[in-house]
Amino acid sequence: MAEIVNKVKANEKLITLDLAKLFHDPTPIETLDIKDFLHMGLLLKENDFREHLVNHDWSQYKGKYLSVFCSTDAIIAPWAWMLITSYASEPAKEVFHLSPEEVLHDLYRKRVENHEWEQYQGKFILLKGCGDIHIPDSIYLLVTNKLLGTAKKIMYGEACSFVPVWKA
């Protein structure tokens, strides 16, 4: 009887890219909504704002990414964001003036930009579609752009069930 061969693994041209394993950073993303630092949630009063900054527990962001935003329609002067950063940058790993989803996208984008895409020249690439870690849709778009013209074929899903996306 002939030996059973796994055709998926035997095909060296097929490379499965698990974006979560390649690009995920397990560092938590914390949020800070500064509406509570504003008068009635809308008005930026410098002295009150500075007092809130002094009294805020910045240590809770130690080693974490910090997403800073305002959930109200307040007009926030640029210097206010600068002040927040001056307080948060020491404990936080990095401070962003973005929503948590935008922070996630930005973190993935940086890693995607620094990845060596030439190694996939002429290969069949399968972008893993299922996993426990959320990958923003925009990252699949960015990775596809990086693979176009490099990979021979781009697919999405699992080796047993995939959707063809692009073929050279």
> Tell me: the pLDDT tens digits for 28-65?
999 999 999 999 999 999 999 999 999 999 999 999 99
Boundaries of domain holding 41: 29-92
> Tell me: the pLDDT tens digits for 126-166?
999 888 898 999 999 999 999 998 999 999 998 888 999 99
Residue 69 lies in a domain: yes
Calculate Rg over the CA atoms of the chain.
22
Residue 142 lies in a domain: yes
Residue 144 lies in a domain: yes
Complete DSSP assignment for 22-65: HH-----EEEEEGGGGSBTTTB--HHHHHHHHHHS-GGGGTTSE
Q: Tokens 């013209």 sit at which residue?
A: 149
Structural contact between residues 157 and 129, judged by C-beta atoms closer than 8 angstroms: yes
pLDDT value, residue 9:
59
Residue 98 lies in a domain: no
For the chain, give the mean pLDDT: 93
Same domain, 33 and 21: no
Q: Is 80 helix (H, G, I), strand (E, B) or coil?
A: helix
pLDDT value, residue 131:
84
DSSP 6: -
Residue 2 lies in a domain: no
Structural contact between residues 159 and 14, judged by C-beta atoms closer than 8 angstroms: yes
pLDDT value, residue 160:
83
Separation between Cα atoms, residue 15 and residue 139, nearest integer Å: 18
Q: What number of residues does the chain have? A: 168
DSSP 135: -
Same domain, 123 and 144: yes
The arithmetic mean of pLDDT across residues 14-28, rounded, is 93
Residue 97 lies in a domain: no
